[in-house]
Amino acid sequence: MKYILASASLRRIKLLKQIGISFKSIPSAINEKYVFRKLAYLCDYNKIAKNIALAKALDVAKKFDTGIIIGVDTIVVLKGKILGKPKSFKDAVSILGKLSGKIHKVITGFAIVDAKTGRKLIDSVATLVTFKELGKQEIIDYVKTKEPMDKAGAYGIQGKGAVFVKKINGCYFNVVGLPLAKLTEDLNKFVQ
């Protein structure tokens, strides 16, 4: 079975390698912000994440005659608002300030598409993450590491941002960007 990850995310690549899946990484050309704007009316964050993941998978599937394409999108939600990737140093500081001492939700939508048959499976996983209270200097020092700049919610649980996480309820790997247990369960439906 030929697997293709519709992403260049180093975190997702590392996670798939960790579980022994052999795959190619072919990033999607989908403009996430454009797709998000089209879907924002849904107000259903699971549907938004799943639809963006599907758009990515379908975009890459067009380039292949065979193969199982995996599209993924992760969003962070706090008090009904999506916290995307920070646009600047100041934005990262602001996002982390909002997360300080609060519980937020990390939702990863993923879509699996068989390029040959067009068969699709779309799913999502949500994890609740509780942050400790963060000091202003602690936030600034973390943002200076540049770790938060390419991550939804402006932190990496698998990196230095781990020290902010007081508790999680759900899949840890989902917060990193790929819910491995649910993904492999769904991938198995394509090899039966």
The catalytic residue positions are 73
Partners of 173 in the β-ladder: none
Q: Which H helix or E strand runs over 47?
A: helix 45-61
Number of separate helices (H) and strands (E) present in the chain: 7, 7
Q: Distance between CA 126 and CA 109 in Å, rounded?
A: 9
Amino acid at 74: T
All residues at 6 or more sequence positions from 116 whose CB lies less than 8 Å from its CB, including other chains = 65, 66, 67
Q: Using CB atoms within 10 Å of the CB of residue 134, give its burial: 0 to 12 exposed, 13 to 18 middle, 19+ buried.
A: middle
Pick the closest to residue 108 from 79, 139, 86, 129 (CA basis).
129
* DSSP secondary structure of 115-159: TTT--EEEEEEEEEEEEPP--HHHHHHHHHTTGGGGSGGG--TTT
Q: What is the DSSP letter of 52?
A: H
